[in-house]
Structure 1
Amino acid sequence: MENEFVINKNEILEASKSRGESAFLTEKRTEALDKLNSLDMIKPDKTRVSKWDFFTVTDQFVESDVFGSLEELPEAVREVIDIETVENVIIQHNNTTAFTKVSDDLKSQGVIVESIFDAAHNHPELLEKYFMTDAVKIDENKLTAYHAALLNGGVFIYVPKNVQVKSPIQMVVLHDDEKASLFNHVIVVADTGAEVTYVENYVTTLESAQGKLNIVSEVIANDNARIKYGAVDFLAKEVVGYVVRRGVTGNDAVIDWALGLMNDSDVIYDNTTYLMGHGSSSDVKIVHVGRGNQKSNFTTEVIHYGKETTGNILKHGVMKDSASSVFNGIGYIKHGATNADAQQESRVLMLSPNARGDANPILLIDEDEVVAGHAASAGQVDEIQLFYLMSRGLKREEAERLVIHGFLAPVVESIPIESVKNLLVSVIEEKIVN
């Protein structure tokens, strides 16, 4: 069977036991290990992954340095954190929770910001309620089970009812060990009437690495809650990955996504929002720059179950060299979701003859009283725009850079932390120029 492999179950469970893992997480790990080889592999549209190596993990856990203060943070982390003003941040160094800072105000209101392992001990009833129950299932496919089996990092964030978190909560994952794999699990829960902005960054100091990337994020907005989820991913070459970010909304809830997906490796991305509650909404913005020979596949889906729900998808990609990407945007209005509104736009610029970008808008509608629309394009940089800028004295390379930055700006501007936004701009610049 393709993608079948041998895994040492006893070794994994013994290692988890030696770290004092909670009984619940060990139980879920065991369940995943038992189901692993009986599950089907993912089959992303227009991307053959039978030869992608998602499974060869050198070290399940890599112990790395911790930091005693913000001032001790490495430069790669300090670039995305304003150490003068940051109030709420958690740093993961490879597989080690290396630093946590949460304001006394949030603690007094019952807000939880902890590693996934600490939360399993300190808040078991909450973690067990949300861990791989609604947004993502352990037995969904071979890679979700592999994620649960090798879980080695992540964060649990819970905002109690009617608490409004004014300052963003930020997570930074520093990947600087070439053997470290990242099997992070992120859970963000805003209870009824709560509001929170969460921003995560995956940064690296490596040019290439041997580790694997298998991330699952579960984002739950209960009735009348609002969650803004921002991310900038920029990891090294050869870190083959599977990234799943899913959201579930209650009545009149909002989940907005702003994702800068800049990894230099081959990655399959799944971003799905389930609009379960009536009057709920989701706005999804994604930007990607592909280069070299990397292959990427993006499936972005908003599924409407509730009445009067609204889903907007905006994806902009830039492809250069021999990179290729598939952008699948899906607006799915289920039967009974009357007065739902599903809109999407996918646009791809190709900067070289060998680059390839497929933009595939898909509308699935099982209800009559709805509004839906889509737009898609894939092509070269607009020569008229270039001509105009060059007529003002710019060289072609400079004009092209300005056009590309303008093309990606709608997503960049939606990143809610200035330092993270600046990182995304610099990453885009670096990937365009080099």
Structure 2
Amino acid sequence: MTTTLEQPAQTTSQEPAWLAERRASGLEQFKNLPMPTAKDEKWRFASVGRLSIDNYNPAEAPGIDKLSVLDKRSSLVSERAGRSVYVDDTQAAFEGISEELAAKGVIYLPIDEAVEKHPGLMEKYFLKESTELGSKKFFGLHAASTRAGAILYVPKGVTIEAPFVNYYWTSGDRSAVFPHTLIVAEDNAYVSVVDVFFSEGDQNEALNVAVANIHAGAGANVFRKVVQDWNDKTVSFQLDTTVAERDAQVKNVAVNIGAERARYEAQTRIEGPGADVKMYSLTVAEENQEFDQRTYQIHNAPNAVSDLLYKNALLDSSRTIFSGLIKVAEGAQQTDAYQTNRNLLLDPSADANSMPGLEILANDVKCSHGATSGNVDEEELFYMMSRGIPKRAAMQLMVFGFFEEVIEKVASDELAENLRALIHKKFDAKLSQPT
């Protein structure tokens, strides 16, 4: 089978010239940029020799029955302000906003409708923020191909307590999907979003190239949560960018469980003083999974804060890579920026690589970075075993204690319990095996 990814995306309506230009530019970028190699510093430690996107094709629309079934399975969050479900880039459901929110100027629409009804907004923000962390080739493919996704716009001063929830599923074999989430929160707006990535079953092979962009205006508060539980036959790219203006507060919490190979690029740009950006991630790796995490905290304004905590737990011969850079511009005095990567190795063959870094051009800052990798604490393990707790059960307790610091950040009892259930499902089989 030959790939058709280099063909222009099929669109459902006549797109405006600006979007056609961005798609064409993305396609050329995808065609002309080389595949990553082991010599590329932005792909250091990654198993680039195993990276292939050959023989994937744009996903075909599934049948109505499958759309209905997966719509019903999209139930991680019950209370919501809006909800979308996509299966193989085909819309299965889109629950719009209430009349009250619409009257306040809130926009929550699929990509094609947003382009048609709000062209000015989309031209300003859609496909404008790319990645600087190594996957520009794949961003180009996304720009050329994306047609599934949710666009959320919250006007000045509007507060929305319930989250918007977007589900992205794969079901076809050797299918490529290109989910896109765009969040624009104007000054002093408040909103939260949950993006969920699932596979229908254990066998369908898939390529995911997803993009999420957050634009937080002055004083805005944006909370985004990501749940990624692809099957172990999926290759995944998640390319995220955040722009935070004066006094904006942005929090990202990502839980990564699935995929054969998953690369997560998170780029944060602070453009206004007083901004506060928090980034949390939890990754669970087993067997031969590889999770490649690249982050970039860019401080272009003074008196701002960014704080990153990424935790990885590794079983079997799994691998994780963390590469993070904090960059403080010359005028960004009194910056507070932190970056921490912690790895818990549960098997001697597991491999965790960490490369935190700083680039500071200002002289009045507080910046730190650190990385730790270690095994289960033998003293704590012995203590629990001496109280009659079996070794595997004791290990499990310690692992979930390690996770809890991140899980509690989701600030939703329902979602936190569902996340624990997903993680238990993955770990129970391993940790319940006899020693």
Superposed CA deviations along residues 243-275 of structure 1, whole A, max 9, x for unmatched, are: 111100111112111000112320111011111
- Which of the numbers 14, 24, 31 marks the counterpart of 1:30? 24
Q: 4+ residue runs of structure 1 moved beyond 4 angstroms?
A: 5-9, 66-69, 72-75
Counterpart in the other structure of 1:215:
210
Structure 2 CA distance for aligned equivalents of residues 283 and 388 of structure 1: 35
- Which of the numbers 205, 221, 230 marks the counterpart of 2:225? 230
In structure 1, the residue corresponding to 2:337 is in which secondary structure?
Answer: strand
Structure 1 CA distance for aligned equivalents of residues 27 and 362 of structure 2: 40
- Which of the numbers 369, 374, 398 marks the counterpart of 1:379? 374
Whether the 8 Å CA contact 1:55–1:212 is kept in 2: the answer is: no
Q: 1:99 to 1:432 in 2, by over 3 A?
A: same
Counterpart in the other structure of 1:77:
74
Structure 2 CA distance for aligned equivalents of residues 189 and 55 of structure 1: 34
In structure 2, the residue corresponding to 1:414 is in which secondary structure?
Answer: helix
Whether the 8 Å CA contact 2:53–2:207 is kept in 1: the answer is: yes
Alignment of 1:133-144 (within 5 A): 133-134=128-129, 136=131, 141-144=136-139
Structure 2 CA distance for aligned equivalents of residues 216 and 241 of structure 1: 11
Whether the 8 Å CA contact 1:322–1:354 is kept in 2: the answer is: yes
Residues 1:365 and 2:364 aligned together: no
Counterpart in the other structure of 2:266:
271
Residues 1:294 and 2:293 aligned together: no
Show structure 1 runs of 5+ residues with no match: none
Show structure 2 runs of 5+ residues with no match: 37-41, 430-435
- Percent identical pairs in the alignment equals 25
Alignment of 1:222-261 (within 5 A): 222-261=217-256
Counterpart in the other structure of 1:49:
48
Superposed CA deviations along residues 364-402 of structure 1, whole A, max 9, x for unmatched, are: 211110001223210111111112222222111111111
Q: 1:422 to 1:176 in 2, by over 3 A?
A: farther
Task: Report the AA paired with residue 373 of structure 2.
Answer: A
Tell me the CA shift for residue 195 of structure 1: 1.1
Superposed CA deviations along residues 291-325 of structure 1, whole A, max 9, x for unmatched, are: 11111210122111110111101011001111011
Whether the 8 Å CA contact 2:71–2:92 is kept in 1: the answer is: no
Stretch of structure 1 that moved more, 41-50 or 344-353? 41-50
Structure 2 CA distance for aligned equivalents of residues 266 and 68 of structure 1: 26
Structure 1 CA distance for aligned equivalents of residues 50 and 14 of structure 2: 33
Task: Report the AA paired with residue 415 of structure 1.
Answer: V
Task: Report the AA paired with residue 197 of structure 1.
Answer: S
In structure 2, the residue corresponding to 1:167 is in which secondary structure?
Answer: coil
Tell me the CA shift for residue 41 of structure 1: 3.8
Structure 2 CA distance for aligned equivalents of residues 407 and 216 of structure 1: 29
- Which of the numbers 33, 55, 58 marks the counterpart of 1:39? 33
- Which of the numbers 406, 409, 412 marks the counterpart of 1:411? 406
CA RMSD of aligned residues (A): 2.3
Tell me the CA shift for residue 68 of structure 1: 10
In structure 1, the residue corresponding to 2:405 is in which secondary structure?
Answer: helix
- Which of the numbers 82, 102, 112 marks the counterpart of 2:107? 112
Tell me the CA shift for residue 67 of structure 1: 9.5
Tell me the CA shift for residue 103 of structure 1: 2.3
Tell me the CA shift for residue 8 of structure 1: 6.9
Counterpart in the other structure of 2:432:
none
Residues 1:97 and 2:94 aligned together: no
Superposed CA deviations along residues 33-53 of structure 1, whole A, max 9, x for unmatched, are: 233322244542221424411
Counterpart in the other structure of 1:12:
8
Residues 1:88 and 2:87 aligned together: no
Task: Report the AA paired with residue 404 of structure 1.
Answer: V
Tell me the CA shift for residue 169 of structure 1: 1.1
Counterpart in the other structure of 2:159:
164
Stretch of structure 1 that moved more, 33-42 or 311-320? 33-42
Task: Report the AA paired with residue 74 of structure 2.
Answer: V
Counterpart in the other structure of 2:39:
none
Q: 1:422 to 1:354 in 2, by over 3 A?
A: same
In structure 1, the residue corresponding to 2:269 is in which secondary structure?
Answer: strand
Whether the 8 Å CA contact 1:66–1:99 is kept in 2: the answer is: no
Counterpart in the other structure of 1:65:
64
Structure 1 CA distance for aligned equivalents of residues 4 and 102 of structure 2: 40
